[in-house]
Amino acid sequence: MKITNAKVIVSCPDRNFVTLKINTDEGVYGIGDATVNGRELAVVAYLEEHLIPCLIGKDPQNIEDIWQYFYKGAYWRRGPITMAAISAVDVALWDIKAKMAGLPLYQLLGGKSRNGILVYGHANGSNTEEVVEQVGQYLEKGYKAIRVQCSVPGVQDSYGVSSKDKTFYEPASSDLPTECSWNSSKYVQFIPGVFAKLRDTYGYEPEFLHDVHHRLTPIQAAHLGKLLEPYRLFWLEDAVPAELQEGFRIIRKHTTIPLAVGEVFNSIFDCTTLITEQLIDYIRTTATHAGGITGIRKIAALAEPFHVKTACHGPTDISPVGMAACLHFDLAVPNFGIQEFMLHTEKINDVFPNQYQLNNGYASLNDVPGHGADIDEKQAAKYPYQRKFLPVNRLEDGTMWSW
Ligand code: KDG
Ligand code: MG
């Protein structure tokens, strides 16, 4: 069996997506997601110029060898652009293998380890009352776990809060990046009160999560963790920028709040200290950014004996193809924790027909061969690429900060 050609499709149905389609001489094709939000065309160039020419003629069945060929063979290893490109190749190859076998992908990963995939939604509001109301709406829909974000009084821009007219909660801009303004101490003082109110209103059964989005220092994060402990959070996410894995030792020393990190990681080497020292509880690497199914399986296998669970990143900038790949992984992996699951718009689902659904707080998959997600190229062609930037962030005195 041989790969005959591969193409990259970029489309913007409400937001940009980079999709890889690999064709074979047996007529079976595979689809992978290579979207890096705000840096899309860098991945396109990487795929078109450096990976696709080497793919032609290779046997698509040799997934591990092709993964190693692009990983070790790059010389310039790792990094979000390289690894997103490898991810898309890998997911497309797993899709081909599963289609050839006539099986849903999760069967090739060891079969079902659970009946349903626990997911979390994203509630937000411009004040505590709005948040409480939105959390109530999620609970009514059957969600068991909800991530909660709230505007902080006196702070211009809080993470994860959408203005009413926006489809997505990250404000992507077509002009230059929007400049946000941030104040960590006002945030740390305010946010525990939101969770106090939520527990008062809904009790202690629902799972609540919170994303700091890399905005604190380790000691500030440790303090916030302590303040949040009484409200039994499922996790505190991205408490600090994770380049410094050792920073988590400080947080861990001071608080028992469960910690999640890794949505921007792209390889196992980004998380070895965090996992082997048991400094975190959930690893958030995803099939689109951390080397596809092959990459996240390696990370999950490292994490399993250290009691670290998986929690794939699943914002709307992961396409339905990336989401489908993660859901197959989630169903099979022994140390599954939870899956982030943001609903895509109708336009996006029209471009990417898929075979997963949400019921009562759990995602499930239809048993079709492959990962079940596809790209409708005619639909995709209706929505050409538009350059978009994620925001940047500054402290109130103008110092650059993490967004
Ligand atoms: O592109 C940036 C988003 O993927 C990120 O802001 C989403 O933090 C995020 C999350 O947890 O979904
Ligand atoms: Mg996050």
Residue 242 has pLDDT above 90, yes or no: no
Closest CA to 322 of 10, 20, 51: 20
Tell whether pTM > 0.95. Answer: yes
- The encoded tokens of residue 183 equal 């104040």
Q: Which residue has the tokens 């002009």?
A: 175
Sign of CA dihedral 307, 237, 87, 105: positive
Distance CA(339)–CA(164), nearest Å, equals 25
Residue 80 has pLDDT above 80, yes or no: yes
Mean pLDDT of 123-129: 97
Q: Which residues are catalytic?
A: 159, 213
Measured from the alpha carbon of residue 172, the closest ligand is: 1
For ligand 1, atom 7: residue with the closest CA:
315
Neighbours of ion ligand 2 (CB under 5 A): 211, 263
Q: Which atom of ligand 1 is nearest to the CA of 211?
A: 11
Are residues 314 and 341 in contact, defined by beta-carbon separation less than 8 angstroms?
yes
- The response to whether residue 315 sits with its C-beta less than 6 Å from ligand 1 reads yes
For residue 165, which phi and psi values (nearest 5 degrees)?
Answer: -85, 0
Ligand 1: residue of 40, 209, 213, 264 to mutate (most ligand atoms within 8 A of CB) is: 213
For residue 225, which phi and psi values (nearest 5 degrees)?
Answer: -55, -45
List strand residue ranges (DSSP E) for 155-311, in order: 179-182, 207-211, 235-237, 259-261, 282-283, 309-310
For ligand 1, atom 1: residue with the closest CA:
37
Distance CA(258)–CA(345), nearest Å, equals 31
- The response to whether residue 263 sits with its C-beta less than 6 Å from ligand 1 reads yes
Q: How far is the CA of 332 from the centre of ligand 1 (A)?
A: 24
Distance CA(266)–CA(253), nearest Å, equals 26
Instruction: Report the pLDDT value the prediction gives residue 164, as an integer from 0 to 100.
Output: 62
Are residues 70 and 130 in contact, defined by beta-carbon separation less than 8 angstroms?
no
- The response to whether residue 211 sits with its C-beta less than 6 Å from ligand 1 reads yes
What's at 115, amino acid-wise?
Answer: N
Numbers of helices and strands, H then E, in the chain = 14, 16
- Burial of 400: CB neighbours in 10 Å, binned 0-12, 13-18, 19+: exposed
- The response to whether residue 160 sits with its C-beta less than 6 Å from ligand 1 reads no
Measured from the alpha carbon of residue 122, the closest ligand is: 1
Measured from the alpha carbon of residue 159, the closest ligand is: 1
- The response to whether residue 317 sits with its C-beta less than 6 Å from ligand 1 reads yes
- The response to whether residue 213 sits with its C-beta less than 6 Å from ligand 1 reads yes
Sheet holding 3-11, edge to edge: 3-11, 17-24, 29-33
Closest CA to 371 of 97, 104, 88, 32: 104
Give Cβ neighbours of residue 180 (< 8 Å, ≥ 6 apart): 156, 157, 391, 392, 393, 394, 403
R_g of the chain computed on alpha carbons: 21
Instruction: Report the pLDDT value the prediction gives residue 174, as an integer from 0 to 100.
Output: 82
Ligand 1: residue of 17, 263, 316, 319 to mutate (most ligand atoms within 8 A of CB) is: 263
- The response to whether residue 40 sits with its C-beta less than 6 Å from ligand 1 reads no
Predicted confidence (pLDDT) per residue in 306-327, tens digit: 999 999 999 999 999 999 999 9
The percent of residues in the chain predicted with pLDDT above 90, rounded, is: 96
Ligand 1: residue of 148, 313, 326, 340 to mutate (most ligand atoms within 8 A of CB) is: 313
Q: How far is the CA of 259 from the centre of ligand 2 (A)?
A: 12
Closest CA to 60 of 18, 32, 19: 32
List, in order of start, the domains of the chain with CATH numbers. Answer: 3-104 (3.30.390.10), 108-368 (3.20.20.120)
Number of residues assigned to the chain = 403
> pLDDT class for 167, splitting at 50, 70, 90?
low
What's at 4, amino acid-wise?
Answer: T
- The encoded tokens of residue 76 equal 């310039």
Distance CA(279)–CA(38), nearest Å, equals 30
Are residues 401 and 393 in contact, defined by beta-carbon separation less than 8 angstroms?
yes
Instruction: Report the pLDDT value the prediction gives residue 207, as an integer from 0 to 100.
Output: 98
Residue 169 has pLDDT above 80, yes or no: no
- The encoded tokens of residue 198 equal 């939520």
Are residues 403 and 37 in contact, defined by beta-carbon separation less than 8 angstroms?
no
Are residues 31 and 20 in contact, defined by beta-carbon separation less than 8 angstroms?
yes
Q: Print burial letters for 357-380: b (CB count within 10 Å at least 16), e (below 16).
A: ebeebbbbbeeebbbbbbbeeebb
Q: How far is the CA of 148 from the centre of ligand 1 (A)?
A: 14
| Residue 343 DSSP symbol | P
> pLDDT class for 105, splitting at 50, 70, 90?
very high
Q: How far is the CA of 107 from the centre of ligand 2 (A)?
A: 29
